């Protein structure tokens, strides 16, 4: 996932279209999930497709299938997706020892001993942790978080104000390879319950290019192949795709992919869309997303 090298040149993709505010989390009702003008919250359904869209889609896998990398229940003993931990003002903050300290925010971080970790406490995977301070509306995200004695170690960490559009410094990673926040790209059940997801979704691809485009700030590749997607690239479900035959939960996800698209945020399995675990997800409904193929997407052109 991680690359120590810095960016070669800043992409110039600027996202247009109308804006909308992402649904606030019930457990942090005072906090927006970034401002309405944030790139994650901008619609892209009115923008043209990129001239090299077909080439990039083929490199990701035109015959590949979408997979909802979130749901209800357990997979290998852990909730399915990237969980969110919400803390209050009484949560004690602690310093974290980082592997990539030069590109991490020093902190301190409000990490409870019961913090929710992607894949569970015994996971050997990415072990993302997302923490929201409901009082300060600050977002703390960590990659490869492990307890160590009375403290913590992590690969990298980033702190964000949920009221600001400020980006990471150019060339810096975050808890994600693209240098982006993870939280605003997660599909959350409360949005589906409301009936609309009004932001872009986070997804992964197997191979990326040694480059990034706005709003990403970091890459994690040694390849200069122009057919590969750079970090931060935005794709959307084609307007012609018929969503009417899908069950409600899947249909709401698909409508969001038409309106807001999805952003390349990390290396991983291609066409895997990320969300937060929730017991109310219907895995059967989410599995119908597998009928959607890579060829049903197109790359969004910036302006």
pLDDT at 303: 52
Residue 149 has pLDDT above 60, yes or no: yes
| pTM: predicted TM-score of the whole model, two decimal places | 0.92
Q: What is the DSSP string of 166-211?
A: PPPPTT---SSTTS--SGGG-B-HHHHHHT---S-EEEEES---S-
pLDDT in tens, 191-218: 999 999 999 999 999 999 999 999 999 9
Query: For residue 37, which of 190, 203, 164, 202 has the smallest C-alpha distance?
Result: 164
Tell me the C-alpha distance between 96 and 154, whole Å.
Answer: 7
In this structure, what are the phi and psi dihedrals at residue 123, rounded to the nearest 5 degrees? -65, 145
Residue 173 has pLDDT above 90, yes or no: yes
Q: Are the C-beta atoms of residues 87 and 76 closer than 8 Å to each other?
A: no
pLDDT in tens, 12-39: 333 333 344 455 788 899 999 999 999 9
Residue 2 has pLDDT above 90, yes or no: no
pLDDT in tens, 42-88: 999 999 999 999 999 999 999 999 999 999 999 999 999 999 999 99
- Residue 78: count of CB within 10 angstroms of its CB: 18
Pairing mode, if any, of strands 234-237 and 297-299? antiparallel
Q: Output b/e per residue, 89-100; b: 16+ Cβ within 10 A.
A: eebeeeebebeb
Q: Output b/e per residue, 12-39; b: 16+ Cβ within 10 A.
A: ebebebeeeebbebeebeebbbbbeebb
Query: For residue 32, which of 184, 258, 259, 253 has the smallest C-alpha distance?
Result: 184
Tell me the C-alpha distance between 67 and 169, whole Å.
Answer: 32
pLDDT at 205: 99
């Amino acid at each position: 996932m991680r690359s120590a090298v810095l960016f070669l040149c800043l992409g110039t993709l600027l996202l247009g279209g109308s804006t909308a505010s992402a649904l606030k989390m019930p457990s942090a009702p005072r906090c927006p999930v970034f401002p309405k003008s944030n790139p994650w919250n901008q619609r892209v359904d009115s923008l043209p497709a990129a001239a090299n869209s077909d080439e990039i889609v083929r490199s990701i896998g035109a015959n590949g299938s979408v997979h909802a990398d979130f749901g209800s229940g357990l997979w290998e003993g852990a909730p399915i997706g990237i969980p969110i931990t919400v803390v209050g003002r009484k949560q004690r903050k602690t310093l974290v020892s980082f592997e990539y300290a030069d590109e991490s925010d020093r902190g301190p971080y409000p990490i409870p001993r019961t913090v929710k970790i992607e894949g569970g406490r015994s996971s050997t995977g990415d072990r993302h942790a997302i923490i929201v301070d409901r009082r300060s509306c600050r977002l703390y995200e960590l990659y490869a978080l492990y307890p160590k004695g009375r403290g913590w170690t992590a690969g990298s960490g980033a702190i964000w104000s949920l009221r600001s559009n400020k980006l990471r410094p150019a060339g810096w990673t975050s808890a994600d390879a693209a240098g982006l926040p993870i939280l605003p790209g997660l599909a959350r059940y409360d949005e589906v319950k409301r009936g609309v997801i009004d932001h872009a979704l986070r997804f992964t691809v197997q191979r990326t290019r040694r480059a990034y485009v706005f709003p990403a700030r970091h890459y994690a590749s040694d390849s200069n192949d122009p057919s590969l997607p750079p970090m931060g690239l935005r794709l959307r479900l084609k307007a012609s795709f018929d969503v009417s035959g899908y069950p409600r939960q899947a249909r709401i996800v698909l409508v969001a992919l038409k309106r807001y698209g999805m952003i390349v945020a990390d290396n991983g399995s291609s066409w895997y869309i990320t969300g937060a675990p929730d017991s109310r997800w219907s895995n059967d409904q989410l599995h119908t997303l597998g009928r959607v193929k890579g060829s049903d997407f197109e790359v969004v052109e910036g302006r």
